[in-house]
Amino acid sequence: MIEPDSIAELEALELDLLLRAVQSRYGYDFHDYAKASIIRRVKKHLDEAGVGQISELIPLFLHDSQAFYRFVKSLSVVVTEMFRDPEVFCVLRAEVIPVLKTYPFIKIWHAGCASGQEVYSLAIVLEEEGILDRCQIYATDFNDDALNLARKGIYCGDNIAKYENNYQRAGGKRQPADYWVSLYDAIKINSRLAQRITFANHNLVTDGVFGEMNLVMCRNVLIYFNEQLQERALSLIYDSLCPRGFLCIGRRESLGFSQIRNQLEDVDNTLRIYRKLGS
């Protein structure tokens, strides 16, 4: 009988072999993802792949690229909603947007945008504050399926009551119906909001600096990385900020360990909103 510790060791070995094979074959390096998170997702993927052991994924992925890319998509966690954490948007209205209003043109990067609900939420706030027409929002993710959903702006209507409540709690100044319409069992975001948004594939693990941004939103993405990969992503994000640019990360995430922490001042440390030091 194999002891539980031995099972865990075997799974760790299988995972390491799988990640090496994937990196060699496709160039994707998942070694610095949080181990508990990635092994949980790999094991969840076994049923979809029709195999019983992690090691059985190795020949499958090596010889079937479509099977591999289905696995990649499963690593991108699409957990989002309109005006998620409404208090964050209240602080953006009160502390960040008044500064953004002083710029003639505003560049915003929403990294790890998933299926787009929070990007559209931000666009609504910017419109209500009168600066959306001066903004260019770059919304990125490495999950093409999620990006396609975001571009369509059509979402399940099951949570519409929650979305409306979130909007009001986020300081909404109009009515939700001004921004989305009901379509049977779904809602469709007003297309005028999408005119200021560019959706694009970008991977925080492998890709480079995205540009000089006045605001970077990267919420609930870093929690799936280990500290080494978090540091790489945060350095990339920091380098993407213009002088005195703003950064907003998820409430469950921390900059305490990062080399960039001393180069940021607090806007609201509880809600993880910061501003780049310098002139």
Give the DSSP letter string of 92-134.
Answer: IIIIIHHHHTTSSSEEEEEES-TTSHHHHHHHHHHHHTT-GGG
pLDDT higher than threshold 90 for residue 173: yes
pLDDT higher than threshold 80 for residue 6: no
pLDDT higher than threshold 50 for residue 189: yes
Q: How far is the C-alpha of 96 from the C-alpha of 66, rounded, in Å?
A: 43
pLDDT recorded at residue 118: 95
Where do the domains of the chain lie? 4-75, 86-153+194-276
Q: How would residue 1 be classed by pLDDT, with cut points 50, 70 and 90?
A: very low
The pLDDT tens digits for 234-271 are 999 999 999 999 999 988 888 988 999 999 999 999 99
Q: Which residues contact 158 (CB under 8 A, 6 or more apart)?
A: 185
pLDDT higher than threshold 90 for residue 128: yes
Q: How far is the C-alpha of 170 from the C-alpha of 84, rounded, in Å?
A: 9
The pLDDT tens digits for 67-87 are 887 787 776 655 689 999 999
Q: CATH number of the domain at 86-153+194-276, please?
A: 3.40.50.150
pLDDT higher than threshold 70 for residue 2: no
Comparing 15-29, 135-149, 184-198, the range with the smallest average pLDDT is 15-29
Q: How far is the C-alpha of 216 from the C-alpha of 241, rounded, in Å?
A: 7
Q: How would residue 4 be classed by pLDDT, with cut points 50, 70 and 90?
A: low
